């Protein structure tokens, strides 16, 4: 469903799009890093408002989409273990592993429970003292402090049957990898306001200082997104490259110091695998040695083979802005939200799901 703006907002949106139009003298490519931005852009039909020379491409900012299928296979392996309860946010349920999903495992009898917060897992653990309760710790800097806080809470309460299967990822290193290793060409970044609310501005300053690419931290309303695009267009027009913060009411320059402190107390940086992107240096978060006992892989190791993903799925290219979802041969035919093949078609924030849901492959031909 496309969001209707009220008259005042429509007037402001029209003003901003005229301003953007006046600044564009060549084709430009902007990457919205965050899946929440991807959906907001579709819902407000922002592509249709912009000049044809402005191309918006999605980046690797949907946490479910960038989680490798091997992680799903591991989660499924734990769900088959006797005495294990797997807990997860709902968006992981239908993500395809190599030959099954958590949803299918639950239908087959596995004890898999959806939670809205990892803190719920502590109560589940207390109610099931003879079982191991494993939370699938997936997400970026926005989610990781909450999981870190849950681990500290479990430790303080003496809950010894709560565990995590860690797969947290950091956004700045993947952008660095896109620019330096993958050679992705973009003229500007729309940065995730939710991630920056935790990290602050500094971790993203390298985009301008090292790569001379303008970047704007953006909120999630249609006008905030348009304002951020306007600021990017203005910098590009002037031949400048700066990090700007359009979301100052939420993002402080230093970020959320309490959340960062908790995060750094529990987690350290490590190399990690991204779906379709391979292993990226220092892009993951692993439990520090003091908290290793909360890692289910320490308490109950399982062996999961590395198996190839569907050969025609182009999620890896979609996540790098190298291919549009409709350029995948499976898009809308073999791969749909009802029968997804790749993770980008599963999550509501996945680029393929958003393109399918809002039908833009039709009007963009």
Question: What residues line the site for ligand SF4 (CB under 6 A)?
Answer: 313-315, 318, 325, 328, 330-331, 335, 341-342, 344-345, 352
Q: Which is nearer to ligand SF4, 69 or 79 (CB)?
A: 69
Nearest-approach distance from CB 12 to ligand SF4, in angstroms:
34
Q: Which is nearer to ligand SF4, 170 or 275 (CB)?
A: 275
E strand or H helix at 215, and its extent? strand 215-218
Nearest-approach distance from CB 304 to ligand SF4, in angstroms:
21
Q: Which is nearer to ligand SF4, 85 or 319 (CB)?
A: 319
Nearest-approach distance from CB 358 to ligand SF4, in angstroms:
14
At which residue do the structure tokens 């308490």 appear? Answer: 299
306 Cβ contact partners less than 8 Å away, ≥ 6 residues apart: 70
196 vs 250: CA distance, rounded Å: 9
Q: Which is nearer to ligand SF4, 58 or 74 (CB)?
A: 58
Nearest-approach distance from CB 348 to ligand SF4, in angstroms:
13
Q: Are 168 and 140 in contact, with CB atoms under 8 Å apart?
A: yes
Alpha helices in the chain (DSSP H): 7-23, 35-43, 46-49, 69-79, 102-107, 119-127, 144-157, 171-180, 193-199, 206-209, 222-238, 257-266, 296-299, 315-319, 351-358, 360-363
Nearest-approach distance from CB 94 to ligand SF4, in angstroms:
12
Hey, is 91 helix, strand or coil?
helix
Nearest-approach distance from CB 138 to ligand SF4, in angstroms:
17
352 vs 344: CA distance, rounded Å: 5
Q: Which is nearer to ligand SF4, 44 or 352 (CB)?
A: 352
Q: Report the residue number whose CB is nearest to ligand SF4.
A: 342
124 Cβ contact partners less than 8 Å away, ≥ 6 residues apart: 85, 87, 113, 115, 133
Q: Which is nearer to ligand SF4, 29 or 310 (CB)?
A: 310
């Amino acid at each position: 469903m496309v969001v209707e703006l009220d008259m005042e907002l429509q007037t402001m949106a029209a003003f901003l799009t005229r301003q953007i139009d006046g600044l564009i003298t060549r084709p430009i490519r902007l990457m919205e890093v965050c899946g929440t931005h991807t959906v907001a852009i579709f819902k407000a039909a922002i592509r249709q408002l912009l000049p044809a020379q402005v191309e918006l491409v999605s980046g690797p900012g949907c946490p479910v989409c960038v989680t490798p299928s091997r992680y799903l296979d591991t989660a499924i392996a734990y769900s088959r273990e006797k005495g294990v309860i797997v807990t997860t946010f709902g968006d992981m349920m239908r993500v395809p592993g190599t030959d099954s999903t958590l949803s299918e495992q639950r239908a087959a009898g596995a004890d898999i429970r959806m939670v809205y917060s990892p803190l719920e897992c502590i109560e589940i653990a207390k109610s099931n003292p003879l079982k191991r309760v494993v939370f699938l710790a997936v997400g970026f800097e926005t989610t990781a402090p909450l999981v870190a806080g849950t681990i500290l809470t479990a430790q303080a309460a003496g809950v010894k049957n709560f565990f995590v299967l860690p797969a947290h990822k950091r956004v700045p290193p993947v952008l660095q990898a896109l620019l330096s290793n993958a050679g992705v060409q973009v003229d500007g970044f729309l940065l995730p306001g939710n991630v920056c609310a935790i990290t602050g501005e500094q971790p993203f300053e390298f985009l301008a200082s090292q790569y001379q690419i303008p970047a704007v931290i953006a909120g999630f309303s249609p006008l905030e997104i348009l304002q951020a695009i306007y600021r990017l267009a203005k910098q590009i027009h002037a031949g400048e490259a700066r990090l700007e913060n359009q979301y100052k009411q939420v993002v402080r320059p230093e970020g959320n110091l309490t959340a960062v402190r908790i995060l750094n107390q529990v987690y350290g940086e490590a190399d990690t695998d991204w779906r379709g992107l391979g292993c990226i240096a220092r892009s993951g978060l692993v439990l520090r040695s003091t908290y290793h006992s909360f890692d289910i892989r320490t308490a109950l190791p399982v062996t999961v083979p590395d198996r190839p993903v569907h050969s025609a799925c182009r999620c890896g290219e979609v996540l790098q802005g190298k291919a549009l979802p409709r350029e995948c041969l499976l898009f809308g035919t073999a791969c749909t939200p009802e029968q997804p093949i790749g993770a980008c078609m599963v999550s509501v924030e996945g680029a393929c799901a958003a393109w399918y849901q809002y039908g833009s492959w039709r009007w963009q031909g």
